[in-house]
Structure 1
């Protein structure tokens, strides 16, 4: 059985009791960039909460005491300006309809032109993370292409498929091709990373927002470029969207099912997710398929012949299978052109789809039914335009010449002709935090800055490396100052991100320092493998580390802080780049 190490800094996310469709004694929060772990701990302590970081992201699972009201705590935390959001850890079902194990053929491969696409790519070199009920690792059509996975739900390495759903989804996307066995997945040479996020009970197969967000983050941190989640009711989750944006920032794409309720799901669209509705053999909407403005594309989802948990094959119906069909096409495209970004693959996927229903994008079929043959032709011929236009950035809050103290909310407006990749916030020339998704909001601990006028600047970057700098906003820092005796106590320094584990792509390094004489007098230096990468003054230091430019393997990040009296402290974290 292929397995992987535990999620960095994250314990098992087992199922507590449910009430009203959400987990008891557990909620989800995301802190704004710049908020220290210590400050977040103080906020959560008011409610008896204890946080558990999800991978290398800013998401946290918060465990609550038995007597706490999850609804009440979420309502209070949603009003905290230091947090991007707080939400209940809702339970969601798998997006499968009835199945018929007795007859069928892989009509969907012909419908989407997969055989033609295979002349250009079979998906080799791309990993598809299947976030589901597990995968039968002994299935003859899957076992040769499995890579290390993880059981997020139980916090162990048991990938046993508890529902059968995950094995069927995995085979739809990537059952091995040309092995004279069973069926062929859309991307039959791609690798499958099994991530168990679900549990089974008498009502079916279910997952939580927390296990899904953890699975997406794990996939992003461990080199998967595609994540497929065939569960419904997740496109409106702030935690799932945050995790999807995190995977997008690593060059990946997240595919989800529209649902099988045959209704308008009334979910706000978000570009971080590829939401797939289901079509039948006549290119009509499948009778069960949900729709809505959040649908971006459609794909075959009726009578899909695929792998099952009994080491055999059967037919399945549902948007559970239209999503991995589309994910498989994206894997073919990424394998053919690994130089293209996730955003470019997503755009080509949409632009080459077969327009169905109302002209252009519509709520039933999105941009249209996926077309693998057309997508591969366009991918192979694509030439990336040269982007020389810098983003535009402006600080919306705080206002110039205002007085600030304590934790200060900073809001940045940023835009670009192609897209903003990240925004760095600088105070007096030191990067204190990085945000990779809109809205670009930060929590600046002004106690780490000397009293008096301080200059705030935001720098927005696009994927081409163009940078746009905002106008400087000068504010008056006015924190209470305490006079102390001679300082012989060294500062405290913590690397809050990354944590020990695996890292990929751009990594937002976050360092927090504090001192009994105040953080304003601290100077912090970040070194990676002994080479100085960044330095600055105050209580916070941020740095964007592009791990694509370093060798694969272990790297040591070291932070050294010195206070005004010359006392020093050092801390390190060891990570593995892929």
Structure 2
């Protein structure tokens, strides 16, 4: 079968542990003697483990867990003059784990807290902070492990009304600005009533915008001056200029503001279409974040626009609304923002529900007013641009990130409020600029689909981590190249994936075969859900018989795959080291079936392939009499994808399959067999019932009617009625198998005759090392294969 694929490069993903302390000593300066970045120590893994064993009291099971953890160190970012390494870690024990956690640390402990179960430990020489943190975290006894940074005084802007902007305390803005103040190359687009372009806290940030009502860019005469005042206030929340000696400051000091005027009336009201058109214009003209502080955020059209924006590297923010109402539509690509108070409660007016993604300060926040003044205002209208400003700060730190990466960092860096985890009042939590910057500094972008891996080289290990001893091995059954062998406790796990990056709904396909695998042992494919649990998507149980060649697997992945950070895992539970599971041609991405011929399916994969079958209503695959077969009962339908018959000429098609029924089936249990003709209508080949079939497989064969000859939209369809199951196996739809390839020398179309095209086909296969050219069956390619070809070619077709 063939289907369209797309290729992307793999990356690896690491965790970020952020610093928890802030220096307040105004006289402190950079520590010239502080150690530099120690994230890349050069001694061997064994030497590192020896150093750890000499410094810590390892408990049962620690050594192997720590050995594995060395392969995935946590990542920390040192900033000279701001936070520097001390060769020490802060370690916090989990509740219920204090005794083993403390025992393990005792020999390396520098100090301990008098109030909580938290300690400072020395990092052994030759081991990095990230490696030591990963090793300690792997024990499962610690809530967190992070560097005991040396910290320094922090910069605060000199804006005269900065102290009136309470939101900055909640965002930890002062600490964040010591790391980054925002980049003027990052554009915040504000879809609103316009902007006061002469406001002293905005005029230096302003870049030309667009009037979406008139469909006119500002450079072509479009008006963007504020007609209401709302847009100026919103703009200041995100991007009022910092450290300029006046007024207020936004989330960043130096962002650029792009006014997108979506209203030409003094009330500021706007049509939904104008807002979305303005948002699309903005991202196409350089905007990184787009804010829309209007009602109606929870709608399908906004999600479609958000997908447009995120696919182009931007991110759309929308206020949740000020009605204190439940909102439920949860579009994955749009960021819906609720409002919080200065005490981190939900604002009384803020809408709530599954649609709320995050929250931000929105009650009585201070910002810019039209006419060069300042004031306070409340509303989710102001929470949304503050969240958008945090998004812009992430882009400032890492302009190499995609929109989905920025969204992921934004969601991962919030302060959790309310009930643990996501809740309807605050979504994932309230934004925090400092957390977002630190997360962005260490973030590794997610791997964009598809995965397309043939295991012909060691590059597969760039996409998958492994446990056990999975290895690539040659296998003559698969042709040239290698396959992946799994057995025993072997397991491969992908890097974190951008689950929504496939052009269409993603699926997975691969081929496998078994050698020496006992009955009941299985091949398991799982995905990591956003909730952190592993969900099975394919579980093949061996029948105990070696597979006859490779079994093709293809299936659509569930909606739980569609998140930014999903992982894929393959394992062979129950197997031993003498079993062989051979995996080849693994693909994860958009599966698109294309017409092909012949259609051949024995259902040995244990499922019905969407690449071979289009309509699968009520049909499934079961093990019946020791073999996999399609099972149909009730009003079930199994309809194939298109079978391209024209390539064989205007000749009859042939359909055959095995058919039998449950022992209880009778005359009321029927199956209708049809074929689609060149006009697109269906011709009946047969109608059979349970009383005719019996409980053992029988072969049924049919020649297609003339109206289906040479038909590139040919299909076969099975339709059942009745309560008891009817089973189908070994389906074939194609040309007569005796004439399709009339001789071992019949290498090329038109099949059924031998000519110079077959000579060319053989030579191509021979030159490529294709097993089809190994005519003497020796496993090597030499003059004996050429001699055998000439012999069978000379004999002609029977």
TM-score when scaled to structure 1?
A: 0.51
SS of residue paired to 2:317: strand
Aligned residue for 2:347, secondary structure, equals coil
Q: CA deviation at 1:375?
A: 1.2
2:203 to 124, 139, 143: 143
Q: Which residue of 2 aligns with 1:339?
A: 400
Task: Extract unaligned runs of 5+ from structure 2.
Answer: 1-160, 217-221, 454-495, 506-553, 566-586, 595-640, 645-676, 681-798
Q: Deviations over 1:468-518 (max 9, x none)?
A: 5434342679589xxxxxxxxxxxxxxxxxxxxxxxxxxxxxxxxxxxxxx
2:174 equivalent to 1:115: yes
Taking a change above 3 Å as real, the CA distance of residues 245 and 387 of structure 1, as seen in their structure-2 partners, is closer
- Is 1:184 equivalent to 2:249 in the alignment? yes
Query: Pairwise mapping of residues 496-575 of structure 1 onto structure 2 (< 5 A)?
Result: none
Say if 1:103 and 1:145 are closer, same or farther in 2 by CA, change over 3 A: closer
**1:85 corresponds to:** none
CA displacement at 1:388 relative to structure 2: 7.9
String of CA shifts for 1:511-568, please: whole Å, max 9, x gaps.
xxxxxxxxxxxxxxxxxxxxxxxxxxxxxxxxxxxxxxxxxxxxxxxxxxxxxxxxxx
2:268 aligns with: 205
Structure 2 partner of 1:216: 279
- Residue in 2 that maps onto 1:474: 642
CA distance in 2, matches of 1:387, 1:154: 38
Among 498, 504, 507, the alignment partner of 1:418 is 498
- Distance, in Å, in 1 between the alignment partners of 2:380 and 2:417 is 17
Aligned to 1:170: 235
Residues 377/285 of structure 1: CA separation in 2 closer, same or farther (3 Å cut): same
- 1:283, 1:462 → 2: CA distance? 28
Checking the alignment, whether the CA contact within 8 Å between 2:241 and 2:249 is kept in structure 1 is yes
TM-aligned CA distance change 1:217 to 1:232, over 3 Å: same
Aligned length in residues: 321
- 2:349 aligns with 288
- Looking at structure 2, the residues matched to 132 and 143 of structure 1 have their Cα atoms a distance apart, in angstroms, of 17
Alignment counterpart, residue 212 of structure 2, candidates 149, 152, 155 = 152
**Cross-structure match for 2:778:** none
Task: Give the Cα separation in 1 of the matches to 2:206 and 2:224.
Answer: 11
| CA deviation profile, 1:400-445 (whole Å, cap 9, x unmatched) | xxxxxxxxxxxxxxxx9522434389xxxxxxxxxxxxxxxxxxxx
8 A contact 1:209–1:234 mirrored in 2: no
Contact 2:321–2:380 (CA<8 Å) still a contact in 1?
yes
Give the 4+ runs in structure 1 shifted more than 6 A.
457-466
1:137 match: secondary structure: coil
Equivalent-residue separation in structure 1 for 2:447 and 2:358 (angstroms): 28
Correspondence 1:130 to 2:221: no
C-alpha separation in 2, matches of 1:141 and 1:225: 21
- In structure 1, list runs of 5 or more residues that go unmatched: 1-101, 393-415, 426-456, 481-578
1:283, distance to aligned residue in structure 2 (A): 0.3
CA distance in 2, matches of 1:463, 1:369: 20
Q: Quote how far apart the aligned CAs of 1:130 are.
A: 0.2
Report the counterpart of residue 450 of structure 1 in structure 2.
none
Give the root-mean-square deviation of aligned CA atoms: 3.2
The answer as to whether partners of 2:297 and 2:321 remain within 8 angstroms in 1 is no
Higher relative contact order (CA 8 A, sep 6+): 1
> How far apart are the structure 2 equivalents of 1:314 and 1:386?
45
How far is 1:179 from its partner?
Answer: 1.1
Change (3 A) 1:469 1:199: same
* Structure 1 equivalent of residue 260 of structure 2: 195
The 1:162/1:371 distance shift into structure 2, 3 A limit, reads same
Matched residue, 1:241: 303
Q: Which residue in the other structure is 1:545 paired with?
A: none
The residue aligned with 2:696 is none
Indicate the SS of the match to 1:275: strand
Change in 2 beyond 3 A, CA 1:319/1:387:
closer
1:326 to 372, 381, 387: 387
Q: Give the match for residue 315 of structure 1.
A: 376
When Rg is computed on C-alpha atoms for both structures, the one with the higher figure is 2
Distance in 2 of aligned mates of 1:288 and 1:388: 41
* Equivalent residues of 1:423, 1:458 under 8 A apart: no
Q: 1:371 aligns with which of 432, 435, 448?
A: 432
The structure-2 alpha-carbon separation of the partners of 1:300 and 1:391, relative to structure 1 and needing over 3 Å to count, comes to farther
TM-score by length of 2: 0.38
- Structure 1 pair 458/249, CA: closer, same or farther in 2 (3 Å)? farther
In the alignment, the residues of structure 1 paired with residue 296 and residue 590 of structure 2 have an alpha-carbon distance, to the nearest angstrom, of: 37
| Cα distance change of structure 1 residues 117 and 458 upon mapping to structure 2, 3 Å threshold | same
1:303–1:146: structure 2 CA closer, same or farther, 3 Å change rule?
Answer: same
Q: Could you say what secondary structure the match of 1:206 adopts?
A: coil
Alignment pair present for 1:268 and 2:333: no
Equivalent position SS for 1:244: helix
Q: Is the 8 A contact 1:104 1:303 kept in 2?
A: no
Question: CA contact under 8 A between 2:391 and 2:406: conserved in structure 1?
Answer: yes
8 Å contact from structure 1 (residues 145, 191) kept in 2: yes
Query: C-alpha separation between the residues in 2 aligned to 1:121 and 1:112?
Result: 14
The structure-2 alpha-carbon separation of the partners of 1:103 and 1:143, relative to structure 1 and needing over 3 Å to count, comes to: closer
The answer as to whether partners of 1:355 and 1:368 remain within 8 angstroms in 2 is: yes
* 2:451 aligned with 1:390: yes
Determine if contact 2:297/2:336 at 8 Å carries over to the other structure.
no
Question: How far apart, CA to CA, are the structure 1 residues paired with 2:197 and 2:189?
Answer: 14
Matched residue, 2:88: none
Deviations 1:247-288 (A, max 9, x none): 010011100101111121x33101111111100010001121
Are the equivalent residues in 2 in contact too, given 1:103–1:315 (CA < 8 A)? no
Q: Is residue 338–residue 360 contact of structure 2 (8 Å, CA) maintained in 1?
A: yes
SS of aligned partner of 1:219: helix
Q: Give 1:305's match in structure 2, choosing from 363, 366, 374.
A: 366
For 1:111 and 1:252, how far apart are their aligned partners in 2?
A: 25
Quote how far apart the aligned CAs of 1:118 are.
1.3
For 1:289, what is the secondary structure of its paired residue?
Answer: coil
